[in-house]
Every structure is written in C-alpha cells, then in structure tokens.
Structure 1
Amino acid sequence: MAEKGELKQENKSALQRNFLRQFRDKETREFKQISASQFMDVWNHYDSDGNGYIEDKELDGFLKELVTSVNSADVGPEVVSESALKDAKKLVLNAFDENNDGRIDIAELAQILPMEQNFLLLFRRDHPLDSSVEFMKIWREYDSDHSGFIEADELKNFLYDLLKQSERENDVSEEQLIVYADTMLQLFDRNKDGKLQLSEMAKLLPVRENFLCRPIFKRKSGGWYMGCSRLNSDDIDRVFNLYDVDHNGYIENDELHGFLKDLMELVEDDYDADDLLDCQKILLDKCDMNRDGKINKEELTMVLTSCNKNSTVEEPKV
C-alpha cells in the first residue's frame, strides 16, 4: 500500500511540474486527441486568474510546458532559455493569435491542441458572423423563453444546429451533446451563474469585425457613446450601411441591438440583455429626435459625434 501511495504522489508531482505531458503518447510523444472535458481541464489549469485569457506569465508557463512536455523524462520548464521562450512565443502568436492582442483565448487554444473534431467545430473560427446584427438574430432565436440568457437546454439546441450545419450532428450522441453543452457553459460562463449572458455568448459566437473598433473611433471612458474627432460623410455611410441590413433607411430592431452591442463592447467587457435595453433607452432619449424608436442616418451622426463637442462631420476630399 505504501508503494502505491508513493507512486501516486510521484505521478501527481510530475503532473504539477508539466500538466501537458499526460496528453502525449508515451511512445510517439505526439499529442493524443483531447476530449471536451480534457480541454476544459487544460484551459482552467493555464488560465489561472480566470480572466478568459492565457497571457503574460500564464502564457510563458504554457509555452515552456508545451515545449518540455515532448520529453518523456521529467524535464522541468526551467530548461527553456529566455531566447527559446521568446522564439516560441513569437511562433505561436503569429500562427494562432488571430486578433493580435498578444494573448491566447479559448478558441485560439482549441486551434493549438489536437481537439476532438466535432467539439472543435463548435468554435467557429473559420466562419465568424458577418456582423453583430446577425449575432442578435441568432441570440433572439435561441433565447426561446426571452429570459435574456442562453440557458443549458437552449445552448444544447444551438450547438446541435451548429453541428448540423457541418453535417456532423449524426456523429454526436445525445450524451456527447450534453457534455459539449456543459463544457462550453463552463468555459464561457465567466460569472458562473449557470447560463450565458450577451457578453459571454459573444465570446462563443464571434463576429468578423466590430467596425466601431477601427482607429477612427475614439473611446470615451465612463459613457456608452463613442465620439470621433474627424468623421466624414463616407465614414457615416459605411457605419449606417453596416447596420441597416435591410436598406430601409433605418437602424431598428435587431439592427439597433447589434449596433448597441458593438457600442457596449467598446466600454464594457461584461454586459447582459438588461444593459443593452438600458443603453437603448439612453440612446433613443438623446438621439431619436422624431421618437419613432429607430435611428436614421441623421440621428446616427448625432450618436457618433455626441461625445465630442468639437466633433465635426467633414465632407470627403475629392
């Protein structure tokens, strides 16, 4: 009994030294296919502060263990030199850091590790949504009880339909689907309330680009709106056309909610459906001059320039 206890403690000690080694084949040293639950274990291990990113010292630790896990012997991460670590970080970030923020998010980690194929499909990195208007339509479809959250059963329905789009739904059993939904909930439910709010679902279902993140827009801290110092009419047209997807001359309903979602993402990392409604009320109170509950191009111009008293909308230079 004592020998078994010593062996168990020795294995635990080795695991603490290099968490990734357990996922490599003992003979080939290649990574074995990682399941959904194993992926969650890896993520939780390296995202030690739980902020949704592997960054700074967490990223250094991950990269050192990624390199040294190839060795069958118990080689510690301290054998990786600073220059080797710098080179490894550059290679990994160039290959997988798609948004160039210098850190690894959940979906980017899924591209690094050899994931279970069906589970990997749920991260949608190859097919991001075109805009937040499309995101809000999907949100409304799957928030079937209109609670303002995507709960476990609604998330399972969403994941099933994602797999169906890839013609892989028949490859996943009901039990696996429940595991997938539970895993995705644990990975993306940052506040651990057992459901996904808007900002959490946005991480699971990414948009190709938040147009309002472009350099021409200036952040104003402590407020909902984004001011710009030098916007011309072409800039206004581009923003308006992005959200007025039905081209009826108004930003309304899902279009308006998509615009508000993008605005909130510029000032808040953590927001829910109630925050979106509060933002809508503020915006319409201030900028919906004819009180029709929607935004026309003139009113959008007011929104985009309202936070900067010196803002002007210039005609484009010919």
Structure 2
Amino acid sequence: MASYRPPILVSRIKFDNYDSDHSGYLELNELKDILYDLGMRTGDADLVGALVALDKAKDGRVSYTEFKEWYREREKRIDALTLRDECQRVLLQAIQFFKYYDKDQSGQIDREEFAPMYDRLKREWKAIGAEVGTLDEVLKSFDKNGDDKISLEEFVQWLVNAGSICAVTKAT
C-alpha cells in the first residue's frame, strides 16, 4: 500500500529544482535560471537587482522562505496550486516542453517558435480525435494577455485549464 504524501507547492518544486548545489539557498547563477523558467529574462544588472530585492536577510543568497514570499506575491494563481506526484511529473515535463520550443531562450514563445509546437500539438490532438483550431486560434487560446507570445505562466495556466495538469486549490 502506497503511503500518503502531502501535496507540494509549485514554489517548492521550482526552488528545489534550481538549488543545484542543494544548499537550501539560491545563489546568483541559480536565481538567473529560475527567473528564466518563470518567463523573466534578466540582464546582469536586473539579476543583481532581483537578488537584492529577494534577499531579505542580506546574506547574498535567497532562502526558500524569501523565494516563496516573493513567488506568492508575483504568481498567486500558480502558487495556489498543490500538486501530487503525478502532477509534479507532468508540470516538469511541461516546463521542458516549453523550453524546447523557446529557441531564443527569451522566456516566451513567439509566433515563429510556436509554429512547430502547433504542428506537434495538432498531430497529437488529431491522434486522439480532438478538434484542432487554426494556428492563430490555438495561439490566441494560450496567449491571455494578447501580446502574440506565450509565457511559461500562460502555458502552464492553459494546461491547468485543459485538465492536463491536475490542480487542487489549497484549503484556506
């Protein structure tokens, strides 16, 4: 019989995934990677600014508590999700899928980058008998802010809405 494991916050998954040295803190290089995956491409000055803003203890690194507080403020709709093991796996696969098509590593998929993604999705959807809209219709369904680009947050939110990532709202 499988033992129960409590749900894990998305912020914890993100933090642990990028704490590459398992120190319990994000250093500058780790912070840069996680910000990119959150769709925030930063230059060196912006990165240092982000570190200063997040580092409440002023020790030159970001603890999970500091990161979680910031992440909650910035991404309430995603951080409000808790994920079980299978959902965690799907979320991590979705992030890798997104990064694969984000060829310029801008943190967003533009129309040109979306075309091959659309072709792959169209093949997969047709294989299961799903209706498939035009490239413009599908792009618009992902792109909630109307900038003709898909951020990682928009992509994940679309997957949640489509039921591809199981989500349970935290009890308050």
Structure 2 length-normalised TM: 0.38
- Which of the two has greater strand per residue? 2
Of structures 1 and 2, the larger Rg is shown by: 1
